[in-house]
Chains A and B, each alone.
Chain A
Amino acid sequence: MMVNASPPGTKALVDIAGVSKSFRSRHSTVTALGDVSMLVQEGEFVVLLGPSGCGKTTLLRSVAGLEKPDRGRIEIAGRTVFDSAQKIAVPPENRGLSMVFQSYALWPHMTVFDNIAYPLRNRKRPDVKGHVGRALEMVRCGELASRYPGQLSGGQQQRVALARALASGDQLILFDEPLSNVDAKVREAVRFELLNLQRELGFSALYVTHDQSEATALAHKIVVMRQGAVAQIGTPREVYERPDSRYVASFLGATNFLPVTVSRIGNGEALLDTELGALVARLDASMGELRPGDRALAVLRPEKLSLAPQSAAGQPNVFKGRLQRSIYLGAFSEYVVAFGDRQFFVQSMESPEIAEGDDVYMAVDKAKLRLLAEEDA
C-alpha cells in the first residue's frame, strides 16, 4: 500500500474550548482537565501525549461523550455535542464517531462479523456485508469473519477492533492507547498500517498515548499534556526540536540541560557563560527576547552532540571531559561524558571507539542547541 500523503485540511472537525473536569473523592478533588482548548482539523491525525494521569484519556472520553466535563464546550463537525453553559450533552451513541479501546472491547458473544456490523446496523447503513468485508480486507483479516474474539490472537483482536472503527466510515476515530497491549513487533506493524490507512482514507484521528515514538511516527500534530493542561501543541518536529519548556523537552526523548547566563548578544548569536566554559548559540525567534545578564536553560539533545578523542586547541563550543561509560548498540552508540559533577549523554551514529576513563572532546553545534528562558524551565 502506498502512502498517499494527503495533508490535513484547514477546517476544524473537533473544536474543544475551555474544557475542565475534576474528580471528587471523599478525601480530595483531582483536577483531570483544567481549561483545555484545542482543534482537530479535517483529515488530521492528532496525538494527545503525556504521562499517565495527565488528563489525556479524560479529554478523549469527554470527546466521546463517555465522560461529562464540568465546564467548557465541544463541537464535532460544526455541531455542539457538549456545552456546559447551554446544558447540552449529546450521548455517545449520537455523536457519530468511532473509538478503538485500549482493551479492544470486542464483544465476546458476537462473531467478528457481528462485532464489525454492530455500528453499521445501529446507524442503519445499507450494504452491511460489503462494508464489513471491506473493513476486514483493509486490516487483512478477511478470513476471520466467522470467528469469535476469544479465538483470536492479540494482534488479530487489535486489527478487528480497528476494522470495527473503520467500517462505519465515520469522519472521526478516537484511539485510547490502542497499541499498548500488543508486543513490540506487532505494535510496529499495526502502527505502520494505521498510518497508511489514515493517510489514505483521510479520517480525522484523536489518539492518546504515552509513547513518544508512537506519537512522533503517527501524528500530524502532537498535543503534549501536563497535569490536565496543554503544555505545547505542534508538529512532531516542532515539539521535538523546539520544545518551549523543560517538561516538553524532557518528555520527548533524552535531553541534557545546562544552566547558562547570557553574557553578550549580537549577529543573531548569543555568547553564554556556563560551568563548562563559554558557549555560543544561534538565536531563533521562537526562543523569545534574551538580554545580557538573563539566566536560561540550554537544551542539548544527545544525538546533536559529537565526540572526538582529539581536538584542535581553542576551538569554540568544544569541551574537554572524561568518558565514563560507552554503550555500543549497533546502529549507534551511547556515551556518558563527565565534566566535573555534571554528566552529559551523547548519542553517535559514527560510534567512535574511545576507552572508558579517557579524555574526550565534546562538540556542540551552535545551530542545534535551544535556549529556554528561566520562567519556562
Chain B
Amino acid sequence: MSAAATSGRSWQVIFTVAVFLVVAVTTFIIVYPLGAMVARVFFPDGHFTLDAFGAVFSDAATAEIFWNTAILVGFSTTAAVAIGTLLAWLNERTDASFGLMSELLPLIPLLVPLIATAIGWVFLLAPTGGFINVFWRWLASGMGVQGAGPLFNIYSMKGMIFVATLCLVPYGYLIVAAALRNLDPVLEEASRISGASPARTLVRVTLPLVLPAIGAAFLLTLIAGVALFSVPVVIGSGARIDVVSVRIFRLIYSSYPPRMDVALVLSLMLMAFVQVAVLLQASLVGRGKHARIGGRGQKQALVELGRGRWIARLLMWLFIVSTTVLPVSSLFLVSLQPYWLPSINFHTLGFQHFRTVLFENSLTSRAFVNSLLLSSVGATIAIFVGAIVTLFIERHAGVVARIADAVTALPAAIPHTVIGVGFLLTFAAAPFRLQGTFLMLLMAYLVMYLPQAVRSTNAAAAQIGRDLGEASQVCGATPAKTFFRISFPLMLPGLMAGWIVLFSLIMGELTVSALLGSTRTPVLGQVMLDLWDGGTFPQIAALAVAVTVVNTLVVAGVLSLNRRRQARSEA
C-alpha cells in the first residue's frame, strides 16, 4: 500500500481515538457525579436508607416549593414555546421578516446575561422604585389620582413568569426555526394550490409537520426552565417565592450547617422529573407517523401577511424591546447613578461605577477576565470537539457513531442545577480537589454546552453537500487534506455562528457558576449574584452593561467577518 494510503489510515485512527476519548470522558463526567449523588443519598454510610427523603418530605416548605416550581415552569415554558413558535414562523416563513433583524432576532436575547435581564426588569417594575411604576404614579397624580398603586409588581409569581418566559423563548425558537427552515416549501405550496388559505396551510400542513420539533422545543425549554436560576433568585427572593433550583443553592450556601443531603434529594428529583419528560416525548414522537422533512430550503415564496405584517413586525420588535432594549436601558441608567434612584438627576450621572467594576474592584475585574477566558476557551474547545463528533458520525454509520451521537446529546437532558451539585459532590472533593478552580468550571461548561455545540456543528456540516467532500477525495486529497481544505473552511461560518452562541451563554452563565464559583476563580454570573445579594445596584448594573457591550462587540465582529467571507464567494 502506498504512503498516502498509510497516512490516510493513520489519520483515521487518530480521528477514531479522538472520538472515543470524547465519548469516554463525557460519559465519565456525567455518570460519575450522578452515580455519586445516588450513592450519597441512598447509601450515606454504606447502608441503604431513605432518611434523606424523610428529611425532605417532613419539611412543610417542600410541597410549596414544588408547587411554585410547577406553576413557574408550567406557565413560562408553555408561553415561551408558543411565542418562540410564532416568532419562528413569522421570521422564517412570512414577509414580516426583514433584513438583518431576522438573522439577529434569536441572537439578541443572548447578548444580555439572564441575571441582568431579570435585574433590569426589577429596576423597571419594582413596586416602589421601579422606573415604570414611578412614572405611572407620576402620570396618575398628574391626572388627579392620588395614592395610586404600582402598575405592575415584578415581585410576584406573575412577574417571575413574565421574565422567565422572556428568558426561555430563544430555546424553543431556535429548534422550531431550524425545522421550518428545513421544511420543503413545496409541501406548503402544494397546499396553497389545493385551495388552502395561508392560515389553513399553517394549521393543516406547516404546524403538523414541525410538531415533533415543537415537542422537542417544549422538552428543551422545560429542562432549561426547571434549572432556571437567575430569574427566581433575583425576583423570587424579593417576592419570597422559593423554587427548587434556588432552594438547592440556598441549602448549600445559605444554611448552616449546609444541608447537602436535602440538596441532593431535590436534585435527584429534578433529574427524575426531567427523565420522565424525556421518555414521554420520545414515545410521543416515536408513535406518530410524521412525514420526513426533506429538501434543502431553496428560494421559497414567503407567506404574505398583508396588513398583518405590521402587527407581526410590532410583535417582533416588542420581543426585542422587552428582552433587551428595556432591561439594558434601565441597567444603563442605574449604572450611571450614584445609587438606584427612581428619578433621573443629570448632575449626578457618571461613569464612576464602570471604573470601579472594571479596574478598581479586584473581584469584579478578575471575574471579567476569567469569564472572557472561560468563554473563549470553552466555546473553542466545545466547537472543535463538536466538529470532530459531527464528521465522525457523518462518515461512520455504525454502533460507535450512534453511541457518540447519544452520549454527546446526553447532557441536554440533565438540568444544569444537577450538573453543578454533582460536580460539587465529586470533582470539588477528594481525590480531585478541584473546588474553585478554572479547570472545574471549564469542565462543567464543556459538559453542559456539548449538546449545543454538537447541534451547531451538525447544522454547519449539513449545509455542505456530501458531494463536496467526496469530490475532494476523488481528486486525490487525503482525508486530512479534505478536512482542512474543504470541510473545515466550508463549515467555518456555521462553526463561528455556533461559537458566538456558546461564548455568550458562558459569559452570562449563572446556575453552575453560582454553585462552583469561588473567590479563587470568580466569574461574572456569580459576582453579579453576590453584588445583588449585597444590594450594590449601580455596580451590578455597570457590570451587566459592560458584559452586554462585550458580547455585542464579539458577536458583531464574528458576524461581520462571516459576512465578508461569504460576500467574497457569492455573486
A interface residue numbers (CB < 8 A to B): 64-66, 90-99, 101-103, 105, 107-109, 118-119, 122-123, 148-151, 164, 168, 174
Contact = CB atoms under 8 A, between A and B. Distances in A.
B8 A91 contact: yes
A148 B490 CA distance: 14
Contact of A168 (B8, B470, B475): B475
B570 A119 contact: no
A119 B476 contact: yes
Nearest to B477: A122
Contact of B475 (A103, A122, A148, A149): A122
Contact of A118 (B472, B479, B565, B569): B472
By secondary structure, the B interface counts as: helix
Contact of B474 (A90, A99, A150): A99
B476 A105 contact: no
A325 B2 CA distance: 65
Contacts of B465: 103, 105
Given A65-B473, A99-B470, A168-B476, 8 more contacts: A64-B470, A66-B474, A93-B482, A102-B467, A107-B468, A109-B565, A148-B571, A151-B570
Contacts of B563: none
B35 interface: no
A92 B482 CA distance: 12
B315 to A, nearest CB: 34
B569 A119 contact: no
Contacts of A91: 5, 8, 473, 479
A66 B471 CA distance: 10
A150 B470 CA distance: 19
Given A103-B465, A148-B569, A118 B489 contact: no
B571 A93 contact: no
Given A90-B5, A94-B4, A150 B570 contact: yes
B571 A118 contact: no
A197 to B, nearest CB: 19
A108 B570 CA distance: 8
Contacts of B82: none
Interface residues on B, range: 20 to 34
B261 to A, nearest CB: 45
A148 B489 contact: no
A109 B468 CA distance: 11
A97 B481 CA distance: 17
23 contacts: A64-B474, A65-B473, A66-B473, A91-B473, A93-B8, A93-B474, A93-B475, A93-B482, A94-B8, A95-B474, A98-B475, A99-B470, A101-B471, A105-B471, A107-B468, A107-B471, A107-B486, A108-B569, A148-B568, A148-B571, A149-B569, A151-B570, A151-B571
B476 A123 contact: yes
Of listed A93, A148, A164, residue having the most chain B CB within 10 A? A93
B281 interface: no
Contacts of A66: 470, 473-474
Interface string B554-571: 000000000001001111
Contacts of B5: 90-91, 94
B16 interface: no
Contacts of B471: 99, 101, 105, 107
B478 interface: yes
Nearest to A117: B475
A92 B473 contact: yes
B569 A105 contact: no
A109 B474 contact: no
Given A93-B4, A94-B5, A105 B470 contact: yes
Contacts of B569: 108-109, 148-150
A94 B3 CA distance: 10
Interface string B474-508: 11111101100110011000000000000000000
Nearest to B492: A109
By secondary structure, the A interface counts as: loop
A99 B474 CA distance: 7
Contacts of A150: 569-571
B492 to A, nearest CB: 9
Contacts of A101: 467, 470-471
Contacts of A148: 568-571
Contacts of B482: 93
Contacts of B486: 107
A118 B485 CA distance: 10
Contacts of A98: 474-475
A119 B481 CA distance: 12
A101 B490 CA distance: 18
A99 B467 CA distance: 11
Contact of A119 (B475, B479, B571): B475
A151 B471 CA distance: 20
B568 A164 contact: no
Interface in B138-183: none
A227 to B, nearest CB: 24
A251 B472 CA distance: 34
Nearest to B569: A148
Contacts of B568: 148
Contacts of B1: 90
B476 A108 contact: no
Q: Please provide the 6 A-B residue pairs with the shortest distance between their CB atoms, ordered closest to farther.
A: A119-B475, A105-B467, A122-B476, A105-B471, A92-B473, A99-B474
Nearest to B485: A118
A97 B470 CA distance: 12
A95 B8 CA distance: 13
A107 B479 CA distance: 16
Contacts of A151: 570-571
B480 to A, nearest CB: 10
B14 to A, nearest CB: 15
B470 A92 contact: yes
Contacts of A105: 465, 467-468, 470-471
Contacts of A164: 475
A58 B157 CA distance: 61
B316 to A, nearest CB: 30
Contacts of A64: 470, 474
Nearest to A96: B476
